[in-house]
Amino acid sequence: MVTIGHKDTKTGEMTSELEMPNFGLGVYLMKEPGECKSAVSHAINSGYRLIDTAMAYGNEEEVGQAIRESDVPREEIFVVTKLRRPHATGYEEVLRRCRESMENLGIGPIDLYLVHAPPEDITAREPVWKAMEQCLERGWVRSIGVSNYGNHHLEDMLNYARIMPAVNQIEINPWLQRPSLISATIESGATPMAYSPLARGHKVRDPSLVQIAEILGCTPAQVAIKWCIDSGAITIPKSSNPDRIVENFHSQNIDITPVMEQLQSMDENYVSGWDPTVEI
């Protein structure tokens, strides 16, 4: 578990802190009917307590169903969802979309609500964040954060935010290590959250990774996932495959300290999908 919270921009103090698991299941690209529900159910039964979804993934309903039908109490499962980028247009729309996500999930307050990416309309960034702060104030969500925010986006928030994000969810993995953005994220008061820890599966057969996994006696995916966790990021690999869901869960128990130097040298600035952190 990790403690997340919001830095007050006036006092510098941390507010509304809460505990969040530092490992969970991502559910992007689970579009077949029932696929997401069955992956989330299997993950919860295997010990996962954090689920990362988004309105853009079209599966908030299935995430909610799986949680409601599970034997694990709702309050023991931490749910993250996100405001779609095309919906990040202004104050009222954010409030409306937050309610919509709550209805889709049907599990009460959202544990962490993220702005999926910096709003494309720069003038919308302030009202969007003010509405996020309002969602928190109204108790619709237990914490708020951002995703795909670069150093300059975070810095700019100091001009308009009352409280800073609790989390910045960005792509982080051994091939995209981002030391500067991780430092800026921590400096802002936010905890880094690593999406695409396997570079969307592009890198699980990377020969250097395979060799390291052989030395450690685990799988290549487990090494990459554990590197993200050990770098201090909340890590959310996606899998729809029951065996890989369990395999990824056990990455938490792998000791990668003997191969840390080799892993640090694998950085190649490889972006597996999109990268709004570099946009204006």
- Which residues are catalytically annotated? 57
How many angstroms separate the Cα of 40 from the Cα of each of 16, 60, 183, 261?
Answer: 28, 11, 32, 34
C-alpha 19, offset from chain centre: 14
User: CB of 230 within 8 A of CB of 252?
Assistant: no
Options 138-146, 159-167, 206-214, 232-240: segment touching ligand NAP (CB under 6 A): 232-240
Q: Are 225 and 209 in contact (CB under 8 A)?
A: no
Least distance (Å) from ligand NAP to the CB of residue 240?
4
Q: Does 239 bind ligand NAP (CB under 6 A)?
A: yes
Q: Does 192 bind ligand NAP (CB under 6 A)?
A: no
Closest CA relative to residue 23, chosen from 53, 42, 2: 2
Contact pick of 146, 182, 236, 259 for ligand NAP (by CB under 6 A): 236
Query: 3-state class of 4 per DSSP?
Result: strand
Least Å from the CB of residue 256 to ligand NAP: 15
Q: How big is the chain, counted in residues?
A: 280
Kind plus residue range of the DSSP H or E element containing 154: helix 151-157
Q: According to the binding rule CB under 6 A, does residue 247 interact with ligand NAP?
A: yes
> Segment contacting ligand NAP (CB under 6 A): 118-126, 159-167, 198-206, 210-218?
198-206
Using rule CB under 6 A, residue 240 touches ligand NAP: yes
Mark the segment that binds ligand NAP (CB under 6 A) among 59-67, 131-139, 237-245, 252-260: 237-245
Say if residues 224 and 203 touch (Cβ distance below 8 Å).
yes
Neighbours of 70 (CB within 10 A): 16
Shortest CB 8 distance to ligand NAP, Å: 25
Which CB, 11 or 272, lies closer to ligand NAP?
A: 272
Nearest Cα residue to 175 out of 198, 148, 151, 149: 198
CA dist list (Å): 198 to 99, 132, 175, 224, 228: 32, 30, 9, 6, 10
Closer CB to ligand NAP, 22 or 147, in the complex:
147
Q: Does 177 bind ligand NAP (CB under 6 A)?
A: no
Minimum distance from residue 217 beta carbon to ligand NAP (Å): 15
- Residues of this chain that interact with ligand NAP (CB under 6 A) are 26-28, 52, 116, 147-148, 169, 195-201, 204, 219, 221, 236-241, 244, 247-248, 273
